[in-house]
Amino acid sequence: MLMQSRLFGVLIASALVVSGCAKQAMTRQDFESAAKLPISVAWLKTRDLRTPTWAGLTLSIYGAYLDGKSAEKMKKEIVVPDMGFEVASRFMSIWREKSAAPEMALLQAPIENDHRFPGASIVFEIIEQFYIGVDGGLVATCRITMKDNSGKTIHKNREWFNAFSLGRKRPSLAEFKADNGKLLIEEMKFASQYLADTFVKKILVDLSK
């Protein structure tokens, strides 16, 4: 239990440090400039969901190998949703429900890092912390980057979904994988909704100032 608490503390601390230095508020002037044309909404292909084990945390290189095999096995057994897409599509719907939203068009496939847009863009990426905790529960971090028509970044933010901090039930890896991954898919969709809603709320706060 002590080891789990220390591990969780380290993860929270690192997430807060990363999150704190990766945000850029958006001004009304920048937004109005970007919103003159339809905004392309895209996502980078989501990395594989990691499934760390206690061995992986304690056995260094061999432990990392075991973790990799665990994630590979799960990928073969379950069709895992692309969370980048899930967040992007929900983001558009939530913004339209909450406020007058700019015209947005969702791309039909994930993009590469060097993708060039013809105008303004909003890109989502599931980054570093994306895994099922060794003691259960889903953890996911997502980054949003918004650029204007000239390619200048006008908004950037990261949000963290953690089942533990939100007081949600934390199924084990075995429970997540049962019934063709039913619980895992449900939790990923919930996490996507949570992340998208949080992104929209913060943008609307910026634009209200």
- Map out the domains of the chain with their CATH numbers: 2-51+79-207 (3.40.50)
Locate 188 and state its tokens.
């990923």
Locate 33 and state its tokens.
């400039």
Q: What is the DSSP letter of 45?
A: P
pLDDT along the chain (209 residues), means of 10: 40 44 80 82 90 62 59 76 96 95 94 92 92 90 95 94 93 90 94 98 92
pLDDT at residue number 195: 98
Contact 125, 158 (CB under 8 A): no
CB atoms within 10 A of CB 83: 25
Find the length of the chain: 209
CA distances from 3 to 6, 140, 164, 165, 176 (A): 5, 21, 16, 17, 23
CA 29 to CA 44: how far, in whole Å? 27
Specify the 3-state DSSP secondary structure of 201: helix
Q: pTM for the whole thing?
A: 0.83
Residue 162 amino acid letter: N
Nearest Cα to Cα of residue 192 among 123, 129, 141, 146: 141
pLDDT at residue number 61: 55
Locate 38 and state its tokens.
């339809």
> What angle is formed at CA 101 by the lines to CA 98 and CA 106, rounded to 5 degrees?
110
E strand residue ranges, the chain: 39-43, 104-106, 121-132, 138-147, 153-162
pLDDT at residue number 4: 44
User: 153-180 pLDDT, tens per residue?
Assistant: 999 999 999 999 999 999 998 899 899 8
